Amino acid sequence: MSKKLRVATTSLAGCFGCHMSILDIDERLFPLFDLIEFDRSPLTDIKHCGPCDIGLVEGGVCNAENVHVLHEFRKNCKILIAIGACAINGGLPAQRNHLDLGSCLTEVYLTEPGLLHGHIPNDPELPLPLDKVHPLHEVVKIDYFIPGCPPSADAIWKFLTDLIAGKTPELGHGLIKYD
C-alpha cells in the first residue's frame, strides 16, 4: 500500500457545520482512513500545518488571523479545497459586506441599547476584522470547491474519493447543493 495522503482541515469564518458533515461520513471514515491521515485539523488538535496533499478549508476570510491561517494552508497543501457556502461566497458573514465596518463596530459595541461603558475591543490579542468578508478564492488560489451549507457527507465522500482516485470530482444531481 502506498503512502497515505496527508490532509489538513480548518474552519475560518465558518460555523464548523462543514466539519460536522465530514464526521457524518460516519462508518465510511474507516476505509477513508486507510487512504488518508490528518495533519492540522480540529480532529487532531495539531496547531500548525505541515506539508500536506490536501487542505480542506471551511468558512470565509473575515479577519487577519483567517488570512494567516489560509496562507499557511496554501503554502503547505498541494491541493486546496474550499468547502461550504462561506468558503465559496462568504456566506452568512459576508452579508455585512454592503455595510461600512466602522458603523458595524459602532452599532455593536457603542450604540446598541443596553450597553454601559461600551468600547470597541482593541486588545492586541484579538485579530482585526477586514473591511469586507472574502471568499477564499479572492485571497489565495483555490483548486476545488465543494458547495453546500453544509455539503452533505455523501457529497464530501464522493468528492474526496473521486479526487483520491485521480478523477475530476463530480457531484451530480442530489449531491451538488448550494444550501
Partner 1 sequence: MGVNCHRTFRSRANDNAMLPDNEIRFDASGQAWLDQLVQRHQNRASQLLQMLREIQEHYGHIPHQIVTELAQRLCIPRARIESVASFYSFLHLKPHGEYRILFSDNITDRMLGSQPLMELMCQQLWLQPGKVSEDSLVSIGTTSCTGMCDQGPALLVNELAITNLNHQRVQEIVHLIRNRTPLGDWPADFFRVEDNIRRSGLLLGNALAPGELLRNALSLGGTNIVESIKASGLRGRGGAGFSTGLKWEACRNAQGSEHYVVCNADEGEPGTFKDRVLLNQQADLVFEGMTLCALAVGARKGFLYLRGEYRYLLEPLQAVLQRRRANKLLGTSILAQAGFDFDIEIHLGAGAYICGEESALIESLEGKRGVPRNRPPFPVTHGYLQQPTAVDNVETFCQAVLALHMGAEQYRTIGTAKSAGSKLVSVSGDCQRPGIYEYPFGVSVREILQDCGAVNTLAVQVSGPSGICVAESEFDRRLGFEDLPTAGAFMIFDDSRDLFEVARNFVHFFAHESCGFCTPCRVGTSILKQTMDKIAAGHGTRYDLSEIENLDRVLQTTSHCGLGRTACNPVLHTLKHFRPSYENKLKSLMFSPAFDLDGSLARARQMTGRDDAGAHLREIE
Partner 2 sequence: MNETFQLDGSAVPFEPGQTVMQAALAAGRYIPHLCYHPEFKPHGSCKLCTVKVNGRTVASCTMPAEGGLDVESEIEELNALRRSLVQMLFAEGNHFCPSCEKSGNCVLQALGYDLEVHATGFRHLYPDRPLDASHPDILLDFNRCILCELCVRASSEVDGKNVFALSGRGITKHLIVNAESGKLSDTNIALTDKAMQVCPVGVILPKRVGFSVSIGERRYDQRPISAQALDDAPRQTDASGNCAACEGTP
Question: Pick from 8, 52, 61, 88: which binds partner 2 (CB under 8 A)?
Answer: 88
Q: Are 93 and 62 in contact (CB under 8 A)?
A: yes
Interface with partner 2, residue 144, by CB under 8 A = yes
CA end-to-end distance (rounded Å), the chain:
38
Question: Pick from 23, 46, 48, 71: which binds partner 1 (CB under 8 A)?
Answer: 71
Partner from partner 1, partner 2, none binding residue 68, C-beta < 5-8 Å depending on class: partner 1
Q: Are 128 and 63 in contact (CB under 8 A)?
A: yes
Q: Are 50 and 76 in contact (CB under 8 A)?
A: yes
Nearer to partner 2 by Cβ, of 97 and 111: the residue is 97
Query: Could you tell me which of 34, 83, 88, 77 has the C-alpha nearest to residue 54?
Result: 77
Q: How many CA atoms lie within 13 Å of 178's alpha carbon, on the beta-carbon side?
A: 5
Question: Pick from 33, 44, 48, 75: which binds partner 1 (CB under 8 A)?
Answer: 75
Q: Are 96 and 70 in contact (CB under 8 A)?
A: no
For the bound state, the minimum distance from the C-beta of residue 110 to partner 1, rounded and expressed in Å, comes to 10
Judged by CB under 8 A, the stretch of 26-34, 65-73, 89-97, 104-112 that binds partner 2 is: 89-97
Q: Are 148 and 178 in contact (CB under 8 A)?
A: yes
Question: Pick from 4, 48, 68, 78: which binds partner 1 (CB under 8 A)?
Answer: 68
Q: In the chain, how many H helices and how many E strands?
A: 6, 7
**Binding residues for partner 1 (CB under 8 A):** 64, 67-68, 71-72, 75, 100-102, 105-106, 120-122, 124-125, 127-132, 134, 138-141
**Binding residues for partner 2 (CB under 8 A):** 82, 85, 88-92, 94-95, 97-98, 132, 135, 137-138, 142, 144-147, 149, 170-174, 176-179
